[in-house]
């Protein structure tokens, strides 16, 4: 790929309209711009411009059968390119803008290069003012995967994007750190009015159940071995979120994990955990801050990147419960560990 100069638009509160207007023009004309959302940074291209999706796949080094999410500035814009059932409207009213992506039947205006060859399209309305302003400025829906090189942790600040994609894309909008830190919840709608969670995120299965009734969680969310050759969502089958360090997904108590890390014979060992465990730990602490699901989700990807920056060879993370937003962390963690779970007594 030819190196190009990647322009950085830093949002400061002054002249931001002009910067976002310029970024929108780049997208409208077929270029690529990375932008902040409330979940992670996205790598955006026009969902309508021929060849833009191919450029996104090339910049990321992503397999082109893994479909892109199409971002809108208002949930009603989905009608332009997707068949919209009532269930979508109900979910949109309750959860959009926000970290929810809904898979719908696509219309012809969306090329199959955007949807990885599928007849469905994933729609999301991000809860970030700069993201929605960019979509409006571009004047078209924006196809955007996470703005990382394929396989590496999703970016939660502009520096992560620059580290992965500088020289490969036209511009990056720096809007600071992402609030949530893990990608959106992806669901498909089922015939009975319920839905299936294909990828867990900030809109939890419990929240969805209160809104739509029957909520299933795809087996591959907690067990990558279950995804099979024809997964419900192509993203399920790829190894993901892997830093260079070996990630140990530890099934045990905090105390058991700290003991295991302290006595691990390997040299450069780190532990992603909360501040409350700092005192007992004799290895590198990668702290999420307070002990909460929001804090773990917010910091997880960023700390995987930090582990590599600090040259750590092994990183321990305790497997969280499979409930609430912790389900998103559970899913990202087992994928970062390559599907391997280390039980307390084996370690």
Instruction: Please give the residue ranges that form the binding site for Mg ion (CB under 5 A).
Output: 146
- Write out the two tokens for 80: 């332009």
Instruction: Give 272's strand partners.
Output: 286, 317
- For residue 69, the partner it binds in ligand TXA, Mg ion, none, with Cβ less than 5 to 8 A by kind, is ligand TXA
Binding mask 136-175 toward ligand TXA (x if CB under 6 A, else -) reads --------xxx-----------------------------
How many CA atoms lie less than 13 Å away from 328 in the CB half-sphere?
Answer: 28
Task: Write out the H or E segment, with its range, that includes residue 85.
Answer: none
Q: Which does 120 bind (CB under 5 to 8 A by kind): ligand TXA, Mg ion, none?
A: ligand TXA
Q: Which of 81, 183, 204, 334 binds ligand TXA (CB under 6 A)?
A: 183
Cα→Cα distances 233→5, 40, 65, 336, Å? 34, 19, 10, 18
37 binds, among Mg ion, ligand TXA, none (CB under 5 to 8 A by kind): ligand TXA
Q: How far is the CB of 69 from ligand TXA (least distance, A)?
A: 5
| Helix (H/G/I), strand (E/B), else coil: 162 | helix
Q: Is 191 helix (H, G, I), strand (E, B) or coil?
A: coil
d(CA 292, CA 47): 37
CA distance 44 to 262: 43
Instruction: Answer yes or no whether residue 69 interacts with ligand TXA by CB under 6 A.
Output: yes
For the bound state, the minimum distance from the C-beta of residue 41 to ligand TXA, rounded and expressed in Å, comes to 7
Which residue, 220 or 260, has its beta carbon nearer to Mg ion?
220
Of the two residues 222 and 287, which places its CB atom closer to ligand TXA in the complex?
222
Residue 40 touches ligand TXA, criterion: CB under 6 A: yes
Q: How far is the CB of 121 from ligand TXA (least distance, A)?
A: 6
* Helix%, strand%, coil% for the chain, nearest 5: 35, 20, 45
**What 3-state DSSP class applies to 14?**
coil
Name the one residue in this structure whose structure tokens are 């080094």.
61
Output 158 or 284, the one with its CB closest to Mg ion.
Answer: 158
Residue ranges binding ligand TXA (CB under 6 A): 37, 39-40, 42, 66-69, 101, 103, 115, 118, 120-122, 124, 126, 144-146, 183-184, 186, 198-199, 233-235
């Amino acid at each position: 790929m030819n190196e190009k100069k990647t322009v950085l638009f830093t949002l400061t509160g002054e002249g931001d309209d002009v910067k976002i207007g310029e970024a929108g023009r780049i997208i409208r004309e077929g270029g690529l711009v990375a932008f902040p959302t409330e979940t992670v940074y996205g790598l955006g291209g026009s969902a309508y411009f021929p060849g833009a999706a191919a450029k996104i796949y090339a910049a990321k080094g992503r397999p082109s059968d893994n479909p892109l999410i199409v971002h809108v500035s208002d949930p009603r814009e989905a009608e332009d390119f997707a068949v919209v059932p009532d269930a979508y409207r109900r979910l949109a009213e309750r959860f959009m803008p926000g970290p929810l992506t809904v898979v719908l039947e696509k219309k012809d205006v969306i090329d199959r290069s955007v949807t990885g060859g599928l007849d469905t399209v994933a729609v999301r309305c991000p809860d970030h003012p700069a993201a929605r302003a960019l979509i409006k400025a571009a004047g078209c829906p924006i196809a955007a995967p996470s703005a990382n090189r394929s396989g590496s942790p999703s970016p939660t600040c502009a520096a992560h994007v620059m580290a992965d994609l500088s020289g490969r894309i036209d511009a990056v909008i720096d809007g600071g750190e992402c609030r949530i830190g893990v990608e959106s919840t992806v669901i498909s709608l089922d015939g009975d009015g319920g839905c299936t969670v294909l990828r867990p995120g900030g809109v939890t299965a419990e929240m969805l159940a209160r809104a739509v009734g029957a909520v299933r969680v795809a087996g591959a969310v907690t067990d990558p071995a279950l995804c099979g050759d024809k997964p419900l969502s192509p993203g399920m089958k790829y190894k993901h979120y892997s830093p260079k360090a070996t990630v140990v997904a530890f099934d045990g108590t905090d105390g058991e994990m700290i003991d295991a890390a302290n006595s691990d014979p390997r040299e450069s060992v780190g532990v992603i955990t909360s501040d409350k465990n700092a005192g007992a730990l004799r290895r590198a602490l990668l702290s999420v801050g307070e002990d909460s699901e929001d804090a773990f989700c917010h910091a997880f990807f960023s700390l995987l990147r930090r582990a590599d920056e600090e040259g750590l060879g092994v990183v321990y993370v305790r497997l969280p419960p499979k409930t609430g937003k912790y389900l998103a962390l559970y899913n990202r963690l087992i994928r970062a560990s390559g599907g391997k779970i280390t039980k307390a007594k084996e370690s």
